[in-house]
Structure formats: C-alpha cells, structure tokens
Amino acid sequence: MTHQNELPGATPFDTPSAIPSDTLSAALAATDRDRILFDLDGIEDRYADLRRELPQVAVRFAVKACPVDEVLAALAGRGAGFDAASPQEIAQALRTGVPVGSVHYGNTVKSDRSIAEAHRLGVRDFATDSVADVAAIARHAPGARVFCRLATSGTGALWGLSRKYGCSVRDAPVVLAAARAAGLTPAGLSVHVGSQQMTAGAWREAFDSLAGVLTALDLRGIHPDHVNLGGGLPALGYLDRHGQPLDPPLDKILAVIREGTARLQEAAARPLDFVMEPGRHLVADHGAVRAHVARLTTRQQPGGERENWLYLSCGKFNGLYEMDALQYRLVFPTHRPDAPRVPAVIAGPTCDGDDAYGRGHGLVQVPEALASGDPVWALSAGAYATSYLTLGFNGFPPLGYDCVRRSGDR
C-alpha cells in the first residue's frame, strides 16, 4: 500500500524548523528520479529573516555552500553579495550581475595565479592570514584591500575549521602592518567560528578577539573600516549522529552578534561596516535530496551480531556528504509512519567503507518492508550537497538538481 503524498508522523519532524515547506514537500512527492531540490522562496525568506535580525550586517553568501546559479541569482536579487573562495567562484558570483565590490576573495589559501586572476576580474578585497600571502597579494593584486582572518578554536561547531586558517591575535597586527608597508590597504578583520556553531559563547569569544586586535591595531595607527563575521550560523533542522534534533540557540547567537557589533563599533576609532558570509544557514533547510532504496539487508557480522543495513542510492559521494557528523532526516513517503520498523545502519551505494554512518552513529528506525526502488527523502540537505558531488565515483553520475518556487514554476 503506498501513500505517495503522505508525510510521516512525529519521527522526522520533531521541531517546527524541521518541517519542509509545502513547496519542497510537493516537489519531492512529484519527483520520480534522484535529485537535489532547492526551494528558492525558502532561501530568500531565510535571507530576509537574517537581514531583519541583523540589519547592521551586510550578507555575502558563501558560494561554496551552494554553487547553484539559480540560488545565487535569487540571493543577488534580494541584495546579497558573495564570499568566493577561488577565481571560478568569483566568476560565478559575477555572472549574477552583482557589482564586483560586493564580492570578496575570502579564502586565505590562494596561489599567485589565483590572486592575479581575481584581481583581473576586478576583486579588490582579499582575506589573508600570513605575511607570505600578503607579499603575494601585493605582487599580484597591487593596491588591494586585505582583511586579516583571526584563528578560532572551532569548539562548539560540528565542523570546526580550526588550524588550517587564521592567525593568532598577536600575529594579526603584524600581518596588517606588513600589508600597509607593502602598499596594500589594511582594511579589516575576519573570523569564522566554525561551521554549524552550536554555542553563543563561541561568538562571544570571537568578539573578544576582534576587540583585542582592534585595540592593538589602533596603537599602530591602523584603523580598519570593516569586520567580517564569517560563516558558522547554523541550519535549524539537523539531527546529531544519534538522531536527536540539534536545536541550535539561534536567538542567543543573534543577540550576541548584535551586542558584539555594537561594542566593536563603540571601541573603533572610525566607523566600521559589518559583513557576514553565511553558507549553510541560508540553504541547508531549504534543500532536500530525493534518493531511493538500493537494498535493505540483514547480515551477520564476524562477531556474531546481526545488523540491518539500509543502502541508499545516494551517500557521502553523491549528495549526503555530511554523514560524517550528522544523521540526515530520512522520510520514507511510501510507508506509513506506524508501519513496523527495524534499526539499521544507513549507507550509500559505493564500494567505499566511508560511505556509511560510522560507529559513532546511532541506528535509524526504518520501515521493515522497504523494497529496492522505494523513494527516500533526506531533509535539511541543501548545504554543501552540490559542492561535494564526485564526478562519477563507481560510475554513479553526479546528482542533478532542480529549483522550485511556491507557484510551482521551476
């Protein structure tokens, strides 16, 4: 017995933020092929909410989180700028028609060639975190404006970005002084508190670091004109590895950001512009993956225990990359919510051991009667889904995508 349009009960929708929009639900129900679906109205609404909550902070969407032309165009249409991490992302952002002044090169890791290409494309704002990178920017993007990224611990985030980027509070004035000496404009500071940051305290710490560096810069006669608060704002509909809703304290986080920006503004020697570059917060909850069941199996493991494994058509290499730190909210639309269930490990279809929930994951209750081909929806899957598609690992083609709107127009 099938219930094609019936959404299951309490299991996947334990918090209001987890409920997919009617638009997304209808599009998922209407799709009979594996796809990633994006609800453009939902993304625009989330952007509008953020602007309303933090009117003093300009939003530059982190392209890496969803490099989909229609999504970028929708956000550009609402007034967003873009954080780009490569010349290719810069070019994609510029194709939306936004002025080049609202696109910055936010990656501290860049080759000479990439810097020169970004400069040729008209970008003038570059992230940096080292004297070596400053020297390269001075050579290949003369006269550019640089902002120095401060390292954060990443504590409290699902994906702490920790040691790869950013410099210490002590080094930042040295880096910006080197920029000034090299003929660049030492224009700002940035932080990133770690992706899906779950604590307001991490933001508080970031503001403490920013305030300390602004004071140290003042002593050197360096007066930045902006502060970039990075990404890290959470998606609202995620489950943790054990299947529990993450329920991030968004209101508290926003309050800390409001207080922090006011405090920096008061302490700064000149007016500061504030910028943010959220990725997953804007897109995660408004994207979903439509996959299907490859097979539900029961096997005895060498230790003697029997395990159920649900193999899906999509996994870590094809739309569900973030299974390292999450359980996706899975919906089985052709099975009743009260149908008998069995606990299973969730895995993707490839011949790769990483393409599965790991040992730290809880088991997932799945309908016992699942058959190969049954549709499966993975909700809150819109962030980094298209960015992390492999080109055809094991021959599985990269998932296609569709963008939908309330009117039903694609």
Residues near ligand PLP, by CB under 6 A: 62, 64-65, 83, 106, 192, 195, 230-233, 277-281
Comparison of 154 and 224: residue with beta carbon closer to ligand PLP? 154
The dihedrals phi and psi of 391, each to the nearest 5 degrees, come to: -75, -5
Cβ neighbour number for residue 70 with a 10 Å cutoff: 18
Comparison of 86 and 334: residue with beta carbon closer to ligand PLP? 86
CB of 385 to ligand PLP, least distance (A): 12
Q: Which residue is nearest to ligand PLP (CB)?
A: 231
For residues 236 and 286, give the distance between their C-alpha atoms in angstroms, rounded to a whole number.
10
CB of 62 to ligand PLP, least distance (A): 4
Give the β-pairing of 185-190 and 226-228: parallel
For residues 379 and 238, give the distance between their C-alpha atoms in angstroms, rounded to a whole number.
8
Comparison of 127 and 346: residue with beta carbon closer to ligand PLP? 127
Comparison of 65 and 323: residue with beta carbon closer to ligand PLP? 65
Q: Enumerate the β-bridge partners of residue 309.
A: 297, 345
Residue in the structure block whose two tokens are 């193999």: 311
CB of 376 to ligand PLP, least distance (A): 25
For residues 38 and 40, give the distance between their C-alpha atoms in angstroms, rounded to a whole number.
6
Secondary structure (3-state) at 303: coil
Comparison of 34 and 277: residue with beta carbon closer to ligand PLP? 277
CB of 129 to ligand PLP, least distance (A): 11
CB of 232 to ligand PLP, least distance (A): 5
Q: Where are the beta strands (DSSP E) in 150-286?
A: 157-159, 185-190, 195-197, 226-228, 273-276
CB of 1 to ligand PLP, least distance (A): 40
Give CA 217 to chain center in angstroms. 31
The dihedrals phi and psi of 196, each to the nearest 5 degrees, come to: 55, 55
CB of 224 to ligand PLP, least distance (A): 17
Q: How far is CA 23 from CA 96, 336, 403, in A?
A: 24, 21, 10
For residues 232 and 138, give the distance between their C-alpha atoms in angstroms, rounded to a whole number.
29
Calculate helix-pair angle for 40-53, 22-30, nearest 10 degrees. Answer: 160
Comparison of 205 and 277: residue with beta carbon closer to ligand PLP? 277
Task: Please say whether the beta carbons of 343 and 367 come within 8 A.
Answer: no
CB of 202 to ligand PLP, least distance (A): 12
CB of 20 to ligand PLP, least distance (A): 20
The dihedrals phi and psi of 64, each to the nearest 5 degrees, come to: -55, -25
Comparison of 20 and 279: residue with beta carbon closer to ligand PLP? 279
For residues 245 and 32, give the distance between their C-alpha atoms in angstroms, rounded to a whole number.
28
